[in-house]
């Protein structure tokens, strides 16, 4: 009954004609801006409803020069960390009546550039990104599009960021391992130039420094992003003549690699090897023993990113801000004093 069998979608002009008013009046009636007689307003709205009229967001955007959507660029939706981030952003964006254009690069900066241009073309109100370089931030700033970097920071001072306090969390978890008696604690990390890696490494170091203990630099292993390569590195680490008694994996992918490798080598956890992870994902609470992990609230992270972006859209000239969210330590069975 509503808009049944209509060849084309109704426009505001058709609504206006059907209601016997001008486009201007119809617009005022529908948007609620400006003078309209109450009865005219109701009639126009009724007609619009009957015709199944839905205003064209593109046309509105073009005229108003302000869009109601944000661009979101994440690394990898198959990783629960980023998926949770997307979920948080999505919830919060919807609450604020924004739509979300989502893209995921596979950590590739070529796709990052492509996505950036798409966002500019769509004239999004702002962009949230887990960056892989400083380029996206610089490019979008030049195009006058607000950017919030989330999880990682590449453009400190140039654009807002919402991060987890990687340093303190890494220090805390390392300190915990030291407290229960570990001295040979390996850090398996993706890389050390991004803020995530750098800060987690720094936290790990400062735990040793605070405890006044020497640090065996050979226990810091850079495993990169390739899972297979990481497993080879970890296997080499665990089969050394002087193996670590605990492994601190700097992200969930590396924790998985460490967990599987320990199982393959028949190293009992936590009997022969303690394991902790930065980033808590579902499997860590499913396995026996559970894996002790630093829990980042991804949904809160996403929500904070949206909030920060909205503030930036409101006040383009406000000072740049970096928001730090704290992480919590979830202790499970994978940690015990060394034997």
Q: How far apart are the C-alpha atoms of 246 and 14, rounded to whole Å?
A: 71
Q: CB–CB of 160/153 below 8 Å?
A: no
Q: Which does 242 bind (CB under 5 to 8 A by kind): its own copies, DNA, none?
A: none
Site string for its own copies, 91-110 (x = CB under 8 A): x--x----xxxxxx------
* Stretch touching its own copies by CB under 8 A, among 33-41, 48-56, 238-246, 329-337: 48-56
Q: Which does 87 bind (CB under 5 to 8 A by kind): its own copies, DNA, none?
A: its own copies
Please state whether the peptide bond connecting residue 7 to the residue before it is cis, i.e. omega within 30 degrees of 0. no
Residue with tokens 């486009």: 23
Most distant CA pair in the chain, distance: 88
Q: Could you give the angle at which helices 23-31 and 38-51 cross, rounded to 10 degrees?
A: 90
Binding residue for DNA, selected from 60, 172, 260, 272, defined by CB under 7 A: 60
By the rule CB under 7 A, 109 interacts with DNA: no
Binding residue for DNA, selected from 6, 46, 59, 156, defined by CB under 7 A: 59
CB closer to its own copies, 56 vs 331: 56
By the rule CB under 7 A, 333 interacts with DNA: no
Q: Which does 25 bind (CB under 5 to 8 A by kind): its own copies, DNA, none?
A: DNA
Binding residue for its own copies, selected from 55, 202, 272, 300, defined by CB under 8 A: 55
* Stretch touching DNA by CB under 7 A, among 19-27, 86-94, 106-114, 271-279: 19-27
Q: CB of residue 30 vs DNA: minimum separation in angstroms?
A: 6
List beta partners, residue 248. Answer: 187, 276
Q: Which does 202 bind (CB under 5 to 8 A by kind): its own copies, DNA, none?
A: none
Q: How far is CA 12 from CA 45, 46, 49, 63, 101, in A?
A: 11, 13, 12, 14, 26
Site string for DNA, 24-53 (x = CB under 7 A): xx-xx-xx-xxxxx--x------------x
Q: Which two tokens stand for residue 134?
A: 């400083």
Q: How far apart are the C-alpha atoms of 199 and 194, rounded to whole Å?
A: 8
Residues 247-286 that bind its own copies (CB under 8 A): 256, 259-260, 263, 281-283, 286
Q: 76: burial class by Cβ within 10 Å (0-12, 13-18, 19+)?
A: middle
């Amino acid at each position: 009954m509503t808009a049944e069998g209509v060849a084309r979608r109704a426009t505001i002009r058709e609504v206006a004609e059907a209601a016997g008013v001008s486009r201007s009046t119809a617009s005022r009636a529908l948007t609620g801006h400006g003078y309209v007689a109450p009865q005219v307003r109701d009639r126009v709205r009724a007609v619009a409803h009957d015709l199944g009229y839905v205003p064209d967001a593109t046309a509105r955007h073009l005229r108003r020069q302000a869009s109601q959507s944000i661009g979101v660029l994440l690394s990898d939706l198959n990783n629960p960390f980023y998926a949770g981030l997307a979920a948080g952003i999505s919830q919060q964006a919807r609450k604020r009546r924004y739509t979300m254009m989502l893209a995921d690069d596979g950590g590739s900066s070529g796709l990052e550039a492509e996505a950036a241009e798409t966002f500019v073309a769509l004239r999004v109100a702002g962009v949230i990104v887990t960056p892989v370089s400083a380029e996206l931030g610089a490019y979008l700033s030049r195009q006058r599009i607000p950017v919030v970097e989330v999880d990682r920071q590449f453009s400190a001072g140039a654009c807002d960021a919402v991060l987890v306090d990687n340093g303190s969390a890494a220090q805390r978890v390392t300190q915990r391992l030291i407290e229960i008696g570990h001295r040979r604690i390996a850090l398996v990390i993706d890389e050390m130039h991004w803020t995530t890696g750098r800060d987690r490494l720094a936290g790990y170091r400062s735990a040793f420094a605070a405890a006044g203990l020497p640090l065996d630099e050979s226990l810091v292993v850079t495993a990169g992003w390739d899972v297979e390569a990481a497993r080879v590195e970890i296997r080499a680490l665990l089969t050394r003549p002087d193996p670590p008694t605990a492994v601190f994996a700097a992200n969930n992918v590396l924790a998985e690699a460490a967990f599987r490798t320990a199982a393959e080598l028949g190293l009992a956890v936590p009997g022969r090897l303690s394991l902790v992870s930065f980033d808590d994902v579902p499997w860590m609470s499913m396995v026996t023993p559970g894996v002790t992990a630093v829990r980042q609230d991804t949904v809160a992270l996403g929500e904070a990113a949206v909030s920060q972006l909205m503030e930036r859209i409101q006040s383009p000239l406000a000072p740049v801000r970096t928001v730090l969210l704290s992480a919590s330590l979830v202790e499970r069975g994978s940690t015990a004093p060394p034997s």
